[in-house]
Amino acid sequence: MTADQNRIFAEQLDSKDPLRKFRSRFYIESENTIYLDGNSFGRLPIKTKALLTEVVEKQWGTELIESWNQNWYQKSTQLGDKIAPIIGATQGEVIVSDSTSINLYKLAHAALKLQKGKTTIVSDDLNFPTDLYILQGLIKEFGPEYQLHLAQSNDSITIETEELKSKITKNTALVVLSLVAFKSAFMYQLNEITEYAHQMGALVLWDLSHAAGAVEIELNKSNADLAVGCTYKYLNGGPGSPAFLYVHKDLQEKLSSPIQGWFGDALPFEFDLNYRPAKGIRRFLTGTPPVLNLMAIEPGIDIINEAGMATIHQKSIRLSEFFLSLVETELRNYGFEIGSPIKSANRGSHVSLKHDEAYRICQALIHPKSSTTRIIPDFRDPDNIRFGFTPLYTTFREVWLTAQRLKQIIKDKEYGQFSTQRSDVT
Ligand SMILES: *Cc1c(COP(=O)(O)O)cnc(C)c1O
């Protein structure tokens, strides 16, 4: 296929896209900016702007402390109930609270206590660093008999199921995995891994940060135990928005939060001097949430529920497959290697391309010298450019334009005008 034929195909795909109308629900300041980093930080839903104005002016400014009862106090559980269908969970199994790192700590700690006597945690070497740091800290905290075992990737892209299974033994207390790996977008089979871990007597804690809002997730159908995830990625909750956590109904009363804050108490406003864990999912709350950030989450998840995860996941696959076909037909001799699984069933909603000049190519996309189109993917060490496809607002034409820019940047050596010096946030 030529570039022109691919462009026509992209336009056809856009015209048939069942999610077309959702792009206008997001604030898009310029059509010349192609945003391909929704996997790391989602765009601003237009409704969020008006909502935040209301929260600040009316709720904070006028209603003052009354807003706790009227709008704020129940929000952590209400938002949890709205996130539940996005991840295949039931009402009362999800809350919004703290950060993903803290939620991972709380749930992993609780699981290790419940699994007393078993002393290993299993994860993998594609996992997000904060997850491994938290687990390393827990190992230290729990004592010298505790160990963290990591399944190893052969190719830095995938983890073989057999390799992971070989790490899970009768002594495994907990398996902690990212459903979708942050660099390569490798996706586990949630069902199969959960079932195997259960056979071995282990619990599984899934980090859904790079998956929630992008791919269909069946926590209940897979009998999943525990999960955490970010709301500022595909859920479009805004900078620093608090994270979510999920605990299977049957486990809630058996697990205790290691951070016994007053929001997790049965009746915080009785101010009892002794902690009594709340019944149900509320026991995993800690303290006062960042209310402005918390309130900002709702419009993004409302849009996702309206669009439906099945349709979102289907478009995600089509966007990624289209991009991979462009890499194959148009970018063949430009030094790129695909750094993600080829099979859609094994991939989340971003595609990584590896290139020796990845960092500077990324810079050229973001700060174009010979184009009016600014494209924002991101760079991950050592040589990955991640292209995040957010089905609610990414168009096929944008994917096509991205391939054309990549071609131009390499052909004209436009990347040569940039320094290899890295910024703080890449
Ligand atoms: C983004 C991400 C995080 C971030 O955690 P924070 O506590 O919000 O900083 C954690 N884990 C994974 C897998 C992620 O992708």
Q: How distant, in Å, are the alpha carbons of 155, 398, 401 from that of 35? A: 28, 9, 12
- At 271-282, the pLDDT tens digits run 999 999 999 999
Answer yes or no: is the C-beta of 130 below 6 A from any ligand 1 atom. Answer: yes
- Domains, in order of start, for the chain: 3-44+308-417 (3.90.1150.10), 73-306 (3.40.640.10)
Q: Percent of the chain scored above 90 by pLDDT?
A: 97
- When computed from its CA atoms, the radius of gyration of the chain, rounded to whole angstroms, is 22
For residue range 237-265, list pLDDT tens digits in order: 999 999 999 999 999 999 999 999 999 99
> In sequence order, what are the residues at sequence separation of 6 or more whose Cβ sits closer than 8 angstroms to the Cβ of residue 287?
261, 262, 263
Active-site residue, 284 included: no
210 lines ligand 1 (CB under 6 A): yes
pLDDT of residue 425: 84
Cβ of 371 less than 6 Å from ligand 1: no
pTM value is: 0.98
State if residue 97 touches ligand 1 by the CB under 6 angstroms criterion.
Answer: no
Taking residues 84-90, report their average pLDDT.
Answer: 98
Q: Quick one: which atom of ligand 1 is closest to the CA of 100?
A: 7
Question: Please, which pLDDT band fits residue 365 given cuts at 50, 70 and 90?
Answer: very high
For residue 81, report the distance from its CA to the centre of ligand 1, in Å: 21
Task: Ligand 1, residue 232: give the atom nearest the CA.
Answer: 8
Q: Would the pLDDT of 65 be above 90? A: yes
232 catalytic residue (yes or no): yes
